[in-house]
Structure 1
């Protein structure tokens, strides 16, 4: 009976007991949770434990292998991989492979390097430019070539002596490169094609040496002149997809497959270097024959940043997929008959280098940007081609007819000022020499402005035009001074002839001589016998003209203010003030005509003269003689009377008619300004 009772109690306890957890799980409270077998040492040496629900498995560390892919035994599964035991080992043909437990490293032959990446293939070092440059170039850019040479020497050392111990060796070298490049650009050493080729080539080769030493995926360093942006990948498998490097004024878009090329040494990079300080003034703008023939008679300017694009692929002369560069124009402008843009790269030649358009697969150009697609890599930019404004039929005939009329009017003015006795005086002498200067200048302009066949004769014509146009403005300045003296310095109303000739002809002669000594090539261009736009030589004319206009404006403002003060008082000699007022009005009108003409000319002779400015300048320039004749002859009562007498001598009937008219008019006036065979100024 007792045995039965015990058996029943045992069965009851088994029925009431909770079920146990499955294998690989453990009971926590009332539930079963997964047991992390990897907390205990479940895998052998050189292996990695991976926990799963209810189980685990082991894999070998990098550099080891196992015959069983996923194993759960404790020992004896992972064995060292001998990376060097292959016909084509990891270091390539130009290096020796040294195996170690779980790893290996490469020792490169002389002239080859893996750039501090000891498990990458050994590739050839490109250090030819550092050893083959001429002494003058080496003197100019010694610092840049020293970086290239020292980096090459360091990378040529055995593996244990290379730059592996420096954590940021690549970044340090890159900062030093940009610093030296800044000094070269700011030093003005790139004004010859040979030095520019050496500079761009040395920067590119040094970047090839530095880029594999960078450890960050993206590196961007810049200073006041240069900027560099690099993307670097160091994966076991080659990277893929697109890579985009963006700067303020240029973007580079290409694929990683193109950057890697046919062989992958264990790293790949894409780099873009921008030179902010390189422009048309600091570097030569020489174009290839092919580009010059397609854009004949054009002048060129760099209209974008000069950039150097490079990749780890050593074969960049024919890319599998083209690279696209997007430039922002430095000077915005719509493409027109006078303006065009070209995508160019710097092509090295035996004599130095030229900007060429060969290899540009596609170019999309607008007023703000240029999208250039290239089949090769080098240093690139955008050229702005400026075409001279073609002389239209209308402009040519306006010039010829207007100048002919002006020459006739100026001749009459000269004749009048020489032989009309009642108006003789200081102002008449100034007007006479003003008309003589303009007459000679217009005569040269009409017949010799386009005589560019003989450069010497063309330069002589340009210098004469420079002299006589400046002389006209100097005589106009003398008129402003004379009017000022007449109103403000009443008792000193005449200028000595010697002083007038020194200012009227001596100052222009001095300016022309100094300009010719400073830049003799500035006289004469390919299209006209006038001043060149190169080196801002045109300002040897515009600067004196602007100064004269400002001085005359000052004199006329003071004169008008003083004249207004005299009119406000009860001055009994009112008729003399009226005559003085007429002098001032004609002088101001003359300043507006001559000064306004060359204000328009200042805009016209800039790099982009517009058609409207051309018509305004041509019209005012060709009719200035006629306007002077109207202001100083036809609007003068005394001169009209002399013309009437002269005309009456030829036609007596006209003389009688005019005499009757003048008698009637004179009876109604006091004639206060009757000439006393003295100067008009002394009368006032």
Structure 2
């Protein structure tokens, strides 16, 4: 019985061992000496133990031929076989004027590895102060050597990211923050995805990344977000060109308008992500109306916007979405306006001012008509129109547009619409005259209503007072719109007025002013007695012409039939002819 029991236990233990071996990839994939294996979700990676680093410079690896070598933690001098050191010497390709390439690459290797992955001697504060290392290097570069500067910055950015990840992996804290004069760093260790989205903030910039992006990282992901204070001055607008940017419009006058930031999750670098990452950038200076924000990333030698797009942008900040992780920034450029857009803006400026000028003349004529009929008859004279009304109605707007174009012709047309530039004071070349005309016409309108009210009170009681009052009230309301007073609603469309009041004002302003032509037709055509009489005469003439045409048509048909009948009977035809 005991033998059977031992046999069953032995078999059960073997079965458990087989199951564990099947479920644990580390059991079937042993790591090399001085390293240990970590598995998660049927995947495994090898890590060098404390005090040792791989000869390839990788933090985790699967290759069994990788060797974990002891690192001199005191002075970190053994970097000849380090991958970062070797790649540095190969990629930088420094000129003869910089013969200290070994010291430079050793510095990058120290920065990226921190003298051993899980036993780094560099803190986040030390990493933040390493900006002096980059400025010392770039100061030695021959002016104009853009390629060499780009290689140095690329290696520096990669080393900073590696150093931050090494420091974060050594520290057991879930989150770490460091803000200094040269960079701000924020790291977060993700053990399990309790939150759908992770939000990291470095200074005033923000990175929002889905937690699912970190799930494939061993031991949970380490998310790092870095904001550089001054690196944009080194790789600024001189590294931007239209050839490397995919935009719908032709752009010029490029410049960086945000901090340069880096985002990384473990080993993920410049690879496509299943879910895009969002970045919120605060502008260094206020973006103007004719400027366009572009989300760009550092491609190694220039700025590119491939894989990135602008979600929203205003004058203070821009929200970007990118499908990969790298170093990012906001590039601002000015859209090249076709001369045609500026011409259209100038023509619209003139036509709008002319329409308001004629509204002013209409308000003046209405006031004088009610005040004194003799003056109204004098105004209606053709000689007075030619000498006063036409030059005033078309000449005053032309003078305003000419002066405005002379003082600020570049403010005609923007990248979004062919109209005046809203920023600055140039818009008052339109808003100023409009405001004055609306104010004058409204005063004319109130004065006219007071005069008409006094006249109505003196009407004979036998007249149809009710009908006249209704007609007068309707004409008065329509005249209010004709005089342009409804344009005053546009002055309430400012940022200080919040929704839903602002939306109600916007819809009211649009609907009322679009129908201005209808108001003019109603008041001056349908509700005008003389015009209605002319319509009646015109319809009568058309009716008479139609009846005459029908009579002639039917008469000709009847005559034709009569002639045909006479041809059929020759005898009758001869009698008729005789």
TM-score above 0.5: no
- The structure number with the bigger radius of gyration is 1
- TM-score band by shorter chain is 0.3 to 0.5
Provide TM-score, normalisation by structure 2. Answer: 0.43
